[in-house]
Structure 1
């Protein structure tokens, strides 16, 4: 990648810190803000293991500090990590780089120290027009179908689909975008050179070829439950909004939506059957704070630019809906069954007999009613839908 780059000393210090501090640790974020990455690393590296003096950086207990110092001692040089990922076609992106997505700064002191990125596209440019699609790992066929449909629909409209590369809805969203020859980003909870889950090796490799694979953790690091939870804040911050497709009450996908709300992004949910436990969390999100969406057009109406509106939704138009009001009133006066006299119809329609007769003949010419002796009755056409293509249901 070309363009503005952070100073090399800063880049090396931040790359080293990804080996030392856990993602999203606010204390480390304050150190970076107050002292800068180079000074923060210097104080950690110059500390003596087992020293009784207070830690040279504020806000951390002695036990935690000792753990940081031990991790720093065991960490390889950052130059080795940078060379290792370069062999996989990856790079390290940090604040100060032209490629750094500015919206990640909304996380404040929980902002990533830096990101390891695999793939040829610009993360900053892609993040400007991106949507997160997340959901249950153990999803239903409905969840897979909706995840893939949303992924494809967003990609076809020029939006980048961001997800976590996991089984279930995440994988469906990625595959939907890839199948539409679109752009997608997988944010991993492990090193960018590793694949988790292992069954997604081909999927992650394909995302790296056609899109981007992103990770906070340094090369070779493994995922843990807490790292999955922390990873979700990056997904929410990178994107303009988060769509949840199937999630139970205790779901990491809901955590992503809550992060989106906290950051002032849109949180959306795709409803499922009210009897489905795997959609219970989505319904709770929709009941309290989220916005209901059913397709990509409705998502884009929320997150897109002014004028990117979803089409109007309505049921089939009945042929009787196209009638003039006075004629429609006469038609409505005819009961569904049996024939009725002009007097009965005009009384029900609150009109005169002559006017009613004229309207009845008009309706007969249109095929809505027919004469039966001295009475009038509805035909089968009266309630037939009108379809845009002129076809039948």
Structure 2
């Protein structure tokens, strides 16, 4: 159980250290968040506690620690309907622990979706900002195909391929997660304010930086490790040789996730980086079915889907209500399930994707139906066969 003091200390540290700072990660692992913050605020503390970190870096930490106001940040995110998720919370995606000392201190989040359950069946779709019409078409098609099969599409909300991936998932009334390199209350790029708002309404927007924080070039690169670790695999759709998308893909490969690339014209510089990946660690894919063939049996982040991950009786009340509203034996539209449960259509869709990740429901076109597992579970609860 995470104490309020621990949460408060971690919130403060998101103001103090930059995302992915391995020096900070070592100190955090050794002393915990409260111990780290206490030592920063004690100017007489022995510098050896900082594991040989440079004096200039520690001085910067101390200065920012003195200015941090974590209670205000937690109040701000709460006022926006968001939350601060930390290691040890039920919602924390445990695959992020694979990042070791570069693991996020915590994640600021906006949106109704449960990040842990959505991440169990997620794929990253990333690529060039200045993409071609071909690249945008492929990203949209891949994302909508993945969403139609019940997979969550994760991307960075940038122009180009990222935006096309989010829109493709949303157009299919599917699930999507945006990972930002700034505060989750700062829509960036500004031209995607409406898109990011839609993701926050229907899915979840997450970031390592506290409210009000603005992006920097280094934060975009560091953000990519979270996208790579959060998902089962990364698909790159168009990327030049020097591209942040290749950073994401290579981080995914180092973490043991699948890396995939969509081929393009050999005469296009925007395909050069993808083709370089395909000559090495990546697998060529051209449609959602090929992506699912790879990641569906990966088994690194969750056990094989032979039944529910959580017992039916342990579902959150709002999620259980959606499950109870599902009629047996036939596919049902989201609107009907929403009417039967008393929830909004958007919230119903969020809960259906959680239930899909846990093996209770499956998607058929625009409709949803109970799986055999869910039906057998309901019979068992009633004492039936």
TM over 0.5: yes
1:69 aligns with 2:65: no
Mean Cα displacement is larger for which, 56-65 or 97-106? 56-65
CA distance in 2, matches of 1:57, 1:261: 30
Aligned match of 2:51? 58
Aligned match of 1:41? 37
Q: CA RMSD in A?
A: 1.6
1:212 aligns with 2:212: no
Matches within 5 A, 1:190-229: 190-229=182-221
CA distance in 1, matches of 2:30, 2:61: 18
1:18 aligns with 2:11: no
Contact 2:93 2:115 in 1 (8 A): yes
What is the TM-score with the length of structure 1 in the denominator? Answer: 0.75
1:108 aligns with one of 100, 115, 130: 100
CA distance in 1, matches of 2:60, 2:152: 39
Superposed displacement of residue 56, structure 1: 4.3
Aligned match of 1:339? none
Question: Does the residue aligned with 1:288 lie in a helix, a strand or coil?
Answer: coil
When Rg is computed on C-alpha atoms for both structures, the one with the higher figure is 1
Aligned match of 2:341? none
Aligned match of 2:172? 180
Question: Does the residue aligned with 1:182 lie in a helix, a strand or coil?
Answer: coil
Mean Cα displacement is larger for which, 139-148 or 61-70? 61-70
2:142 aligns with one of 150, 154, 157: 150
Aligned match of 1:235? 227
1:301 aligns with 2:297: no
Aligned match of 2:262? 270
Superposed displacement of residue 223, structure 1: 0.3
1:28 aligns with 2:24: yes
What is the TM-score with the length of structure 2 in the denominator? Answer: 0.76
Residue deviations 1:203-236 (CA, integer Å, cap 9, x gap): 0000000111000011101100000000000000
Contact 1:243 1:267 in 2 (8 A): yes
Aligned match of 2:342? none
Consecutive unaligned residues of structure 1, counting only runs of 5 or more, are 309-393
How many residue pairs align between the two structures? Answer: 300
Residue deviations 1:232-275 (CA, integer Å, cap 9, x gap): 00000000000000000000001000000000000000000011
Contact 1:55 1:62 in 2 (8 A): no
Question: Does the residue aligned with 2:186 lie in a helix, a strand or coil?
Answer: coil
Superposed displacement of residue 305, structure 1: 3.0
Question: Does the residue aligned with 1:36 lie in a helix, a strand or coil?
Answer: helix
Residue deviations 1:317-354 (CA, integer Å, cap 9, x gap): xxxxxxxxxxxxxxxxxxxxxxxxxxxxxxxxxxxxxx
Consecutive unaligned residues of structure 2, counting only runs of 5 or more, are 299-303, 305-385
Larger relative contact order (C-alpha < 8 A, sep ≥ 6)?
A: 2
Contact 2:157 2:178 in 1 (8 A): yes
1:161 aligns with 2:153: yes
Residue deviations 1:26-71 (CA, integer Å, cap 9, x gap): 11111111111111111112226xx9x6364222111111111111
Contact 2:27 2:49 in 1 (8 A): no
Which runs of 4 or more aligned residues in structure 1 lie more than 6 Å from their structure 2 counterparts after TM superposition?
none
Superposed displacement of residue 111, structure 1: 0.3
Aligned match of 1:130? 122
CA distance in 1, matches of 2:270, 2:259: 18
CA distance in 1, matches of 2:2, 2:271: 44
Aligned match of 2:369? none
Superposed displacement of residue 289, structure 1: 1.2
